[in-house]
Amino acid sequence: MKNSVYPFYFTLGALLLYVVFVVLPGFMGIAYSFTDWNSYTTEVNFIGLENFRTILSASENYLGYIQNTLLFTVWTITLKTIIALFLAVLLNYGVRRFSHLYRVIIYLPVVLPTIAVGLVFRSILNPRSGILNEFLRAVGLGGLAQSWLVNPDIALFSVIGVDTWKGVGYIMVILLAGLQTIPQEYYEAAEIDGATPFARFRHITLPLLVPAITVVSILNLLYGLRVFDIVYVLTGGGPGYATDVVFTAVFDEFSKGRYGLGTALSTVLFVIMTVVGIFIVRRLTRDPIEA
């Protein structure tokens, strides 16, 4: 008994810091979401579900922020996973020469500061003098030139594209590590049985890669629902409210001194993250044959 308790002491300091700086503020935030806490008065009064009624009110745009956040999350999870899986398979099985160099090149955007990436792409996607539109005009595809960050219909998808470019290398590395744990004997046996490359991918690679896909899906989910920096740098939430997400709205509420409403938005996002996270974990950890 003494030996089993002893290792716990090594984690006690980290656990205490986690409780003080993560768990306790989290519970305080949930508690404050039921109050009218603001910068205009020193009194903090309990108002029940009033903040949540405001968020769900059709007269406000908070539901639009939640919708944009979910849209951003779904698209980035899908695009990053598909592109990263394609690159991981290509580098693991297809490309032999300079594969390590290609991995470094693909991973490089991950380590670039988000602010720097946002500022560079604001210049690239400039509707008048941006490199992308200039290139399209130069190759005779001027009809495809767009106001990438100004048009409300495509601004959010432009942000999604930039974020996918920046983050796909990180997902690729995790999936590549998962691919390298799959025993080659499975592929050799399938090849002897006459299985096509697609059949080997469908029945061997994908099922055995489910743990890695689960990990990247959860990481993408947590990042997508909490996204702020790339949106704020690229568009500031504009044009209008077209690219506003939950955390840009939280930032705006705190800037206006409406702290109770801001914490209520964070609480709503926490509930969404919990529900969607449980769904993804249960969905991806099912028996592959059953799925």
DSSP 190-226: HHHTT--HHHHIIIIIHHHHHHHHHHHHHHHHHHHHT
Range of the domain at 118: 61-284
Residue pair 181/204 in contact (Cβ under 8 Å)? The answer is: no
pTM of the entire predicted model = 0.87
In this prediction, residue 4 carries a pLDDT of: 62
3-state secondary structure the chain: CHHHHCCHHHHHHHHHHHHHHHHHHHHHHHHHCCECCCCCCCCCCECCCHHHHHHHCCCCCHHHHHHHHHHHHHHHHHHHHHHHHHHHHHHHHHCCCCHHHHHHHHHHHHHCCHHHHHHHHHHHCCCCCCHHHHHHHHCCCHHHCCCCCCCCCCHHHHHHHHHHHHHHHHHHHHHHHHHCCCCHHHHHHHHHCCCCHHHHHHHHHHHHHHHHHHHHHHHHHHHHHCCCHHHHHHCCCCCCCCCCCHHHHHHHHHHCCCHHHHHHHHHHHHHHHHHHHHHHHHHHCCCCCCC
Q: Using CA atoms, how far apart are residues 145 and 134, in angstroms rounded to an integer?
A: 8
Asked whether the predicted pLDDT for residue 291 surpasses 50, the reply is no
**Residue 166 placed within a domain:** yes
In this prediction, residue 2 carries a pLDDT of: 53
**Residue 25 placed within a domain:** no
Asked whether the predicted pLDDT for residue 5 surpasses 70, the reply is no
Q: Using CA atoms, how far apart are residues 188 and 55, in angstroms rounded to an integer?
A: 56
**Residue 39 placed within a domain:** no
Q: What is the pLDDT of residues 77-133, one digit of tens each?
A: 999 999 999 999 898 877 777 888 888 999 999 999 999 999 999 999 998 889 999
Q: Tokens representing 189?
A: 């046996």
pLDDT band at 193 (very low <50, low <70, confident <90, very high): confident
**Residue 49 placed within a domain:** no
Q: What is the pLDDT of residues 48-61, one digit of tens each?
A: 999 999 888 866 78
- pLDDT averaged over every residue in the chain: 88
Stretch 227-255: mean pLDDT, rounded?
92
Q: Using CA atoms, how far apart are residues 12 and 279, in angstroms rounded to an integer?
A: 32
Number of domains in the chain: 1
Asked whether the predicted pLDDT for residue 160 surpasses 80, the reply is yes
CA atoms in the 13 A half-sphere facing the CB of 131: 5
**Residue 51 placed within a domain:** no
Whichever domain contains 95, its CATH number is 1.10.3720.10
**Residue 186 placed within a domain:** yes
Question: How many angstroms separate the Cα of 163 from the Cα of each of 33, 88, 99, 134, 168?
Answer: 30, 19, 24, 22, 8
pLDDT band at 286 (very low <50, low <70, confident <90, very high): low
In this prediction, residue 94 carries a pLDDT of: 73
Stretch 148-162: mean pLDDT, rounded?
94
Asked whether the predicted pLDDT for residue 150 surpasses 80, the reply is yes
**Residue 8 placed within a domain:** no
**Residue 20 placed within a domain:** no
